[in-house]
Amino acid sequence: MPQLSARTVADLPPARRPLVDRTRLVPRILHFGLGAFHRAHQAVYTEIGNHATGGDWGIVAVAPGSADAVRRMRAQDCFYSVSDKAPGALNTRVIGSIIEVRHAVTDSARVQALLASANLGVVTLTVTEKGYARLAATGRLDTTDPLIAADLARTAAGSAGESRPGAGQPVSVIGHLAFGLAQRFRTHQVPLTIVSADNMAGNGPALRQVVLDFITSSHWADAAPLAAWVAASAAFPETVVDRIVPATTDSERAAAAAALGLKDAMAVAGEPYRQWVIEDSFATERPPWAAAGAEFTADVAPHALTKLRLLNGAHSAIAYLGLAAGLDTVDQAMNTPWGPNLVRALAAEVSPTLPPGGPNPVAYADTLVARFANPAIRHQLRQIASDGSLKVPERWLAALRQLRHTGQPVDTLSLALAAWAAAMRPDGGRRDGISDPKANEYAAIWAGARSLADGIGQVLALVGAPDLAEDAELTARVAARMEALAAGGTPIPRQGNPVNKPGSPAKPAPDFRVSAGQRTAARRGHGPAGVIHHAPEEEK
């Protein structure tokens, strides 16, 4: 079978071909993170927006980690397909909005040249929480992170506050942004808009902070005026992105090939749903994303916190509880009695922490139940369970802190924390395939913990929540949940669950335990869960 490429794409039927003629696009967006999520989200918005408006916004996508995706994209002239997977229906189309791919390390000079170019107005990022190199406790830049430390050392290469060409090009994402902004400041001073599309509360301000921290920690003689210019002239809008796009499986690549009649090593598949809410605070012209359905708004926080605490929060809870129950994918968990109940119980529990102006939490949870149950999407629990040390604080701990301050119930979050803490123990059972930058620290904690509650406290302190670590009632409660889980089951909390009408006697909650029969039923009709062929991509 021939491979997807500039030559073969021309022979596809119109319904499978890109919407936009690639030759009219120019590099106007630089994107960090070449993972499945970007390819199925921002690249699609850009494609549809260009089509709707006649725009010429081309994306240069930079892979921060492995160069493997760069090679595979280049082999097919940067074309790849996106399959929308509704239950029982598959729609596959080639996307052409990525016009060039680069590797952050080996193509650093080209990435810097683009960042310095006055024609480039927008930078976007999907580099996962890890890519920001933030300190867990403060959110400030971790200047001891090896990539950051090396890039900071490179700022000493030029004596007069300049990064001489070739004297030391940056390799980290934050280093690239700071070096690029420095070049703009020292030349034309055209502003730049830098858009984080990662799952962090206040992702725009968080990014702004680490970029400014890099500049003020640099050896550049002009660091102070540069920082002042960045603070005044660069925009870091907050955004919330949403689309469930698991790592592509071999069977999804095969389905894409069958639909196209062409091999596509970079095929992605996701749910049909997509959403993008963007703070309307650009320093430069906006790409035509609104024409593709993105919503520009003054206040993103209610949307962002709802998505983070309900969707991502439920995802992580399902991941750790589902793995403990012997399941593999999110839709399997939604096929158990406890899956939908967990989503609704969590939504009810955290809803008091959400600012007004966002979606209705009960309706939102109902939508989540349907999205998570999509049998065409086999989202591996292990993928979601990875990097919990960075995800859990964003998804659960901020809400937990608020609820503890106001003395409100935290039963569901306690259960979720117990499943997470248990999964991070060296004897945590089905841990294979779960990666976490703090894995060694977890192992050391559990090797020396005096008790379960002590271990939980240490884990909470490790991920930046020393206040919660000192909450003895909380750690005791989580420890009790861990014991119940180890004993084979614990109920999903009933309290606050919207399935129980106010005033009516609480319905008995389904038992969390999943019997072998239920597990078989949950998996029925799915066949093997799908093999992740390539190592999970570093970028989401």
Cβ atoms of residues 22 and 46 within 8 Å: no
Minimum separation from the CB atom of position 319 to ligand CS2 (A): 8
Tell me: does residue 295 bind ligand CS2 (CB under 6 A). no
Residue 540 binds ligand CS2, judged by CB under 6 A: yes
Positions in 147-186 near ligand CS2 (CB under 6 A)? none
Supply the minimum distance, in Å, between the C-beta of residue 366 and ligand CS2. 17
As measured in angstroms, the least distance from the Cβ of 503 to ligand CS2 is 34
Within positions 457 to 496, which residues make up the interface with ligand CS2, using CB under 6 A?
Answer: none
Which two three-digit tokens encode residue 413?
A: 């979050």
> 46 or 199: whose CB is closer to ligand CS2?
199
In the Cβ-directed half-sphere of 368, how many Cα atoms lie within 13 Å?
Answer: 30
Stretch of 224-232, 239-247, 464-472, 502-510 contacting ligand CS2, by CB under 6 A:
239-247
Q: Which listed range, 2-10, 153-161, 240-248, 423-431, lies at the site for ligand CS2 (CB under 6 A)?
A: 240-248
Instruction: Please report how close the Cβ of residue 436 comes to ligand CS2 at its closest, in angstroms.
Output: 12
Binding range to ligand CS2, per CB under 6 A, among 139-147, 185-193, 236-244, 492-500: 236-244
Q: Which of 42, 81, 83, 199 binds ligand CS2 (CB under 6 A)?
A: 199
- By CB atoms closer than 10 A (0-12, 13-18, 19+), residue 445 is buried
Whichever of 242 and 441 has its CB closer to ligand CS2, that residue is: 242
- Minimum CB separation of residue 519 from ligand CS2 in Å reads 22
Asked if residue 66 lies in contact with residue 82, where contact means CB atoms within 8 angstroms, the answer is: no
- Nearest Cα neighbor of 202 from 97, 45, 355 is 355
Q: Pick from 383, 412, 414, 518: which binds ligand CS2 (CB under 6 A)?
A: 383
Q: Is the CB of residue 225 less than 8 Å from the CB of residue 289? A: no
Strand partners, 454: none
Question: Cα separation of 456 and 65, whole Å?
Answer: 32
Starting at the earlier edge strand, list the strands of the sheet with 26-32: 98-103, 57-63, 26-32, 122-125, 192-196, 234-235
Q: Which residue, 384 or 410, has its beta carbon nearer to ligand CS2? A: 384
CA–CA separation, 46 and 293 (whole Å): 10
**Among the listed residues 162, 242, 366, 511, the single contact to ligand CS2 using CB under 6 A:** 242
Burial class (CB in 10 A: 0-12, 13-18, 19+), 120: buried
The answer to whether the CB of 397 falls within 8 A of the CB of 405 is no
CA dist., res. 431 & res. 437, Å (int): 14
* Cβ closest to ligand CS2, residue 10 vs residue 531: 531
Q: Are 126 and 32 in contact (CB under 8 A)?
A: yes
Could you say whether residue 330 binds ligand CS2 (CB under 6 A)?
A: no
CB of 198 to ligand CS2, least distance (A): 9
Whichever of 309 and 391 has its CB closer to ligand CS2, that residue is 391
Q: Which is nearer to ligand CS2, 216 or 275 (CB)?
A: 275
- Residue 504 Cα distances to 342, 352, 496, 501, 508, angstroms: 20, 21, 12, 6, 12
Residues binding ligand CS2: what is the number (CB under 6 A)?
Answer: 11
Which residue lies nearer to ligand CS2 by CB, 242 or 295? 242
Within 120-139, which residues bind ligand CS2 (CB under 6 A)?
Answer: none
The least distance separating ligand CS2 from the CB of residue 451, rounded to whole angstroms, comes to 30
Which one of 79-87, 161-169, 241-249, 516-524 is the stretch in contact with ligand CS2 (CB under 6 A)? 241-249
Phi, psi (rounded to 5 degrees) for 18: -55, 150
| Range 450-481 burial, b when 16+ CB lie within 10 A, else e | eebbebbbbbbbbbbbeebbebeebbbbbbeb
Three-state DSSP at 102 gives strand
- Tell me: does residue 244 bind ligand CS2 (CB under 6 A): yes
How many residues are given for the chain?
540
431 binds ligand CS2, rule: CB under 6 A: no
Among residues 368, 366, 340, the alpha carbon closest in space to that of 522 is found at 340
DSSP 493: P
Dihedral sign, Cα of residue 184, residue 189, residue 193, residue 194: positive
By the rule CB under 6 A, 312 interacts with ligand CS2: yes
Closest by CA to 206, choosing from 177, 180, 184, is 177
Residue 211 engages ligand CS2 in binding (rule: CB under 6 A)? no
Question: For residues 213 and 394, which CB has a smaller minimum distance to ligand CS2 in the complex?
Answer: 394
By beta carbon distance, the residue nearest ligand CS2 is 315
Min CB(150)–ligand CS2 separation in Å: 28
Toward ligand CS2, which CB reaches closer, 154 or 540? Answer: 540
Q: State which residue, 148 or 373, has the beta carbon closest to ligand CS2.
A: 373
Tell me the per-residue interface mask from 340 to 379 with ligand CS2, x by CB under 6 A, - otherwise: ----------------------------------------
Give me the least distance between CB of 373 and ligand CS2, in Å please. Answer: 14
Selected from 39, 102, 309, 315, the binder of ligand CS2 by CB under 6 A is 315
Per CB under 6 A, does 384 bind ligand CS2?
yes
Query: Which range, of 186-194, 237-245, 289-297, 409-417, touches ligand CS2 by CB under 6 A?
Result: 237-245
Give the whole-angstrom CA distance, residue 537 versus residue 69.
Answer: 8
Contact status, residue 165 vs residue 206, Cβ threshold 8 Å: no
For ligand CS2, the binding residue among 243, 303, 425, 481 (CB under 6 A) is 243
- Residue numbers at the binding site for ligand CS2 (CB under 6 A): 199, 242-244, 311-312, 315, 383-384, 391, 540
